[in-house]
Chain A
Amino acid sequence: MSNTEMTNTENNPVLSIENYSLDYETANGPFHALKTIDLSINRGEILGLVGESGSGKTSLAWSIMRYLPKNAREPGGRILLGGDNLLDKSERQMEAIRGRRISMVFQDPSTSLNPTLSLGTQLAEVLMRHRGLSRQQAWKEGEERLAHVGLKTPAQMMHRMPHEASGGEKQRVVIASAFACNPECIIFDEPTTALDVITSRQILDLFVELQAETGVASLYISHDLALVARTAGRVAVIKRGDIVEQGTVREIFTNPQQDYTRELINAVPDPAHRLVKDDVAVTDKPLVKVENVSVHFGRKSFLAALTGKKTERVTGNNAISLSVNPGEILGIVGESGSGKSTLAKAMTGLNRFEGKIWFDGREIRNLGDMDNAYRKDVQIIFQHPDASLNPRQKIFEILSRPLKLFGDGSDLEKQVGDMLEQVRLPRTHANRYPHQLSGGEKQRVAIARAFASKPKLVICDEITSALDVSVQASVVELLLDLQKASGTAYLFITHDLNLIRQIAHRIAVMYRGDLIEVVKAEEIDSPDRADYTRRLIEAVPRAAAQFQ
């Protein structure tokens, strides 16, 4: 799997970045995006570039591709591709190099493909541009290329529009166009981040296979150390525009030299390292029991009703039954569209549902049964704190609402301050607006809001997935501390299997609106699991396990 040992036949690296710096000019003076970067990639090698958001890893990709915004300044350094300094190239010369000698695979295939051009057109134009093929030749070559990246029906795929293909299929097309002209170097910018677990595993396998076959020098950019550990031979860790450490994957993982690297490695969730004790009493009196809950979307439109047209109802949840015990953390995993969030919304009165929910012995049949007491006890935290905190309210107002609704509402100043301290934020943050806080801080405010009413169940809907790894780790730590202190039960929805295996007592697996199974966390990798569960588990890369 690893390419570390691949012999380096050429002395000159394919891509080498020497002493390169990049500044952005802003109204507040220059911002140093990259500071004296030194990197090189040889033929046949994969260099992993790992960093958190804002670390400058994407800026580096743009620098290499010579695609920089107008306010970019380059105080010094060289970027050599096969010995040619790209900094000296004119725009016209770069156009001939991009796509032919160096190409790129992007994060999200649904935005990096033009929605109004067929997949074939977008692949063929590369071949026509750089290899001088005619339209027919390019089209035929395109079909072969698509077959080569594992698409079953390449001829039809060429004619499809992007919206007619799945995310995985689209990413294969993007990869096919990146490899189309046999470039010397390819930059992969988080190529699997936007994809589902199983699909991203397939794309990763494809990448490794094509890389080995062509020997292309690859720069693999990711925020995910575990992922990079699987694919790359060497890893460079970037922090605030600085390469803090680089070395072989083994060196970095087994013997990190820098604190930051160590922090990053420790922040990667490791399923073998459980963070909760399995001491939840399994009672026959669960806190919540969800019984045959189904959610359907789609409503007959006014005109459709007039003309008698049939509208199809989309099923979001299909007769889900599960239960959460007091003080338990129940994880729900599944791919996008599996109905995880739909269930969360049904339980918090944001979606209509059929079926029953039993809460603390009370029966809830519809949204009308969710009274003040129920809402006090069941709280939800959303994925994006940017969206869940009203941009026009100060933190004080945001946090004082649940206190007024559910608490005594006295001495709000002190209570809000205490809440902020509880989630390890300074009391003075009460006077700020959400946009003045960092992503992690905002999510802490959202957590504080949920805990204000002293709930019995908190539903966490992908609350860590918009955060950086290290921030994610500290938010998870906070949640677990709060849980220990309050005994609150969590319904923890996530697509991150490694994380949920660390913190959940039991895990529910969902697929396309159905509940596949609910199992104990430590038994999820047993061979007796359902077929889909096993595929999920196999698809997830586990970083640490490889080196211990």
Chain B
Amino acid sequence: MIVYTLFVVSLIVFAITQILPADAAVMMLGENATPEALDALRQTMGLDAPIWQQYFSWLWHVVQGDLGTSLRTGQPVGPAMFEALGRSLLLALFSIGLMLVLAIPLGIIAAIRRGKIADMVVSLVSYAGVALPEFVTATIAVLVFADWMKWLPPTGYVPLTEDFFGGIAHLVLPVCVISIILIAHVSRMVRSELVDVLHTDYIRAARLKGMSRGHVLRRHALRNALLPTITIVALDVGYLLGGVIVVEEIFAIPGIGRQLIVAIQARDLPAIQAGVLIMAATYSIVNFIADILYAWLDKRIQYD
């Protein structure tokens, strides 16, 4: 499944980068290069071969772990991208962690207090959460917490290994900004799943066996309601990765999103190809793991 996904993604990425009006040879030698020099370079780079040959040669290198050389820096793309990916994953993991810690309890509270004030507050929060794009919330957050309050540093990235607390302080705003939309979405999903589960016959049956509300919630309802959350969170990783691009740009975090923006602006084809491929792979792997986890937790799956 992952293999097929990456194959399709590689096709798309290659197709898009091929149609891009950017000539790798011109980019390397500059606008003033002689036609002869350009031709010679094209030949050595294999750019004169038919497109499908170029594609398979590129794919063959990718399969071997060679993601190509950046047209901008002249360095291999792979190591730079993976290093950037590491920073982005740190950001993503903190965001998912924060989201889970907040969204699940919020969803549960809204579901068990359905129709009450708590439920309305949670649904207001979830509507507010999806009201603004990340770059707006990020900008406002910087304005309020960095410029006015001076509680947190506005932008920048400090590795945790260098200065742990400084690094955390730099991560707080980006993590919060990324989490907002995810919290809104996931808490809504948790609520609706739990409301559905609480209306099932087996929950009623458990209550009529004399089980207390709390016991039924813990032992019977949550387990079934939270299972689908795994899938939802995994699917949201796609959104998360998009958010990472914007947030890294605003907070000047040298992650894969920033690398991609730079690559896109510079039309650095190998870097774009590598970056998109890595993002798609990350998404696919997360979803693959989520599927396995789901099947492992829900033993019914194998029989369906």
Q: Which residues of A contact B (CB under 8 A)?
A: 65, 67, 95-100, 103-104, 106, 108, 111-117, 122, 125-126, 129-130, 161, 163-164, 174, 177, 303
Known: A114-B202, A122-B206, A163-B300. 15 other contacts (CB 8 A): A95-B211, A96-B210, A98-B207, A99-B209, A104-B205, A104-B208, A112-B202, A112-B205, A116-B227, A116-B299, A116-B300, A117-B220, A125-B211, A126-B210, A130-B210
Is B212 part of the binding interface, using a Cβ–Cβ cutoff of 8 Å? yes
CA distance A104 to B202 in the complex (A): 12
Could you tell me if A117 and B208 are in contact, using CB atoms closer than 8 angstroms?
no
- Scoring B208, B211, B299 by chain A CB atoms within 10 A of each residue's CB, the highest score goes to B208
Minimal beta-carbon separation of B81 from chain A (angstroms): 30
A residues less than 8 Å from B215 (CB atoms): 125, 129
B residues less than 8 Å from A98 (CB atoms): 207-210
Could you tell me if A106 and B1 are in contact, using CB atoms closer than 8 angstroms?
no
Q: Please give me the residue from chain A that is nearest to B204 by CB atom.
A: A67
- Scoring A100, A116, A130, A174 by chain B CB atoms within 10 A of each residue's CB, the highest score goes to A116
Minimal beta-carbon separation of A522 from chain B (angstroms): 41
CA distance A99 to B215 in the complex (A): 14
Is B200 part of the binding interface, using a Cβ–Cβ cutoff of 8 Å? yes
Report, nearest first, the 4 A-B pairs whose CB atoms are least far apart.
A99-B210, A98-B210, A111-B201, A99-B209
CA distance A130 to B227 in the complex (A): 29
- Beyond A115-B224, A163-B303, whether A106 also contacts B201 by CB under 8 A is yes
A residues less than 8 Å from B219 (CB atoms): 117, 125
Is B291 part of the binding interface, using a Cβ–Cβ cutoff of 8 Å? no
Residues 194-242 of B contacting A (Cβ, < 8 Å): 200-212, 215, 219-220, 223-224, 227
CA distance A154 to B17 in the complex (A): 64
- Beyond A161-B300, A163-B303, A303-B1, whether A113 also contacts B208 by CB under 8 A is no
CA distance A117 to B203 in the complex (A): 12
Minimal beta-carbon separation of A156 from chain B (angstroms): 16
CA distance A114 to B206 in the complex (A): 9
Could you tell me if B202 and A161 are in contact, using CB atoms closer than 8 angstroms?
no
Q: Please give me the residue from chain B that is nearest to A178 by CB atom.
A: B209
Minimal beta-carbon separation of B258 from chain A (angstroms): 37
Is B298 part of the binding interface, using a Cβ–Cβ cutoff of 8 Å? yes
Minimal beta-carbon separation of A191 from chain B (angstroms): 12
Minimal beta-carbon separation of B228 from chain A (angstroms): 12
Minimal beta-carbon separation of A420 from chain B (angstroms): 37
Could you tell me if B205 and A100 are in contact, using CB atoms closer than 8 angstroms?
no
Could you tell me if B224 and A116 are in contact, using CB atoms closer than 8 angstroms?
yes
Could you tell me if B201 and A99 are in contact, using CB atoms closer than 8 angstroms?
no
CA distance A106 to B303 in the complex (A): 25
Minimal beta-carbon separation of A106 from chain B (angstroms): 6
Could you tell me if A115 and B207 are in contact, using CB atoms closer than 8 angstroms?
no
Which of A115, A126, A303 makes the CB contact (< 8 A) with B209?
Answer: A126
A residues less than 8 Å from B200 (CB atoms): 111
Minimal beta-carbon separation of A163 from chain B (angstroms): 5
CA distance A254 to B8 in the complex (A): 75
CA distance A296 to B227 in the complex (A): 33
B residues less than 8 Å from A116 (CB atoms): 223-224, 227, 298-300
CA distance A113 to B224 in the complex (A): 12
CA distance A103 to B202 in the complex (A): 14
CA distance A542 to B303 in the complex (A): 38
CA distance A31 to B227 in the complex (A): 38
A residues less than 8 Å from B203 (CB atoms): 114
B residues less than 8 Å from A67 (CB atoms): 204, 207-208
- Interface residue tally of chain B, by bracket? 20 to 34
Q: Please give me the residue from chain B that is nearest to A110 by CB atom.
A: B201
CA distance A112 to B203 in the complex (A): 8
CA distance A130 to B211 in the complex (A): 9
Which of A115, A130, A164, A177 makes the CB contact (< 8 A) with B202?
Answer: A115
CA distance A113 to B200 in the complex (A): 10
Could you tell me if B210 and A112 are in contact, using CB atoms closer than 8 angstroms?
no
Could you tell me if B201 and A112 are in contact, using CB atoms closer than 8 angstroms?
yes
Could you tell me if B300 and A115 are in contact, using CB atoms closer than 8 angstroms?
yes
B residues less than 8 Å from A177 (CB atoms): 209
A residues less than 8 Å from B212 (CB atoms): 95
Which of B1, B223, B299 makes the CB contact (< 8 A) with A161?
Answer: B299
CA distance A15 to B201 in the complex (A): 25
List 9 contacting pairs A-B, 8 Å CB cutoff, sorted by A: A95-B212, A98-B207, A98-B208, A99-B210, A108-B201, A111-B201, A111-B202, A125-B219, A126-B210
CA distance A503 to B208 in the complex (A): 42
B residues less than 8 Å from A97 (CB atoms): 210
Q: Please give me the residue from chain B that is nearest to A164 by CB atom.
A: B303
CA distance A130 to B208 in the complex (A): 12
Could you tell me if A65 and B206 are in contact, using CB atoms closer than 8 angstroms?
no
Q: Please give me the residue from chain A that is nearest to B203 by CB atom.
A: A114
Q: Please give me the residue from chain B that is nearest to A101 by CB atom.
A: B210
Minimal beta-carbon separation of A340 from chain B (angstroms): 24
A residues less than 8 Å from B299 (CB atoms): 116, 161
Minimal beta-carbon separation of B195 from chain A (angstroms): 14
B residues less than 8 Å from A113 (CB atoms): 202, 205
Q: Please give me the residue from chain A that is nearest to B1 by CB atom.
A: A303
B residues less than 8 Å from A126 (CB atoms): 209-210
Minimal beta-carbon separation of B190 from chain A (angstroms): 17
CA distance A206 to B201 in the complex (A): 23
CA distance A112 to B220 in the complex (A): 12
Could you tell me if A99 and B220 are in contact, using CB atoms closer than 8 angstroms?
no
A residues less than 8 Å from B224 (CB atoms): 114-116
A residues less than 8 Å from B223 (CB atoms): 116-117
- Scoring B1, B201, B303 by chain A CB atoms within 10 A of each residue's CB, the highest score goes to B201
A residues less than 8 Å from B208 (CB atoms): 65, 67, 98-99, 103-104
CA distance A103 to B211 in the complex (A): 12
Could you tell me if B210 and A129 are in contact, using CB atoms closer than 8 angstroms?
yes
Minimal beta-carbon separation of A493 from chain B (angstroms): 27
Minimal beta-carbon separation of B214 from chain A (angstroms): 10
B residues less than 8 Å from A96 (CB atoms): 210
CA distance A113 to B300 in the complex (A): 14
CA distance A111 to B204 in the complex (A): 10
B residues less than 8 Å from A111 (CB atoms): 200-202
Minimal beta-carbon separation of B194 from chain A (angstroms): 14
CA distance A125 to B215 in the complex (A): 10
- Scoring A104, A108, A114 by chain B CB atoms within 10 A of each residue's CB, the highest score goes to A114
CA distance A112 to B201 in the complex (A): 5
CA distance A216 to B209 in the complex (A): 17
A residues less than 8 Å from B205 (CB atoms): 104, 106, 112-113, 174
Q: Please give me the residue from chain A that is nearest to B212 by CB atom.
A: A95
CA distance A130 to B210 in the complex (A): 8
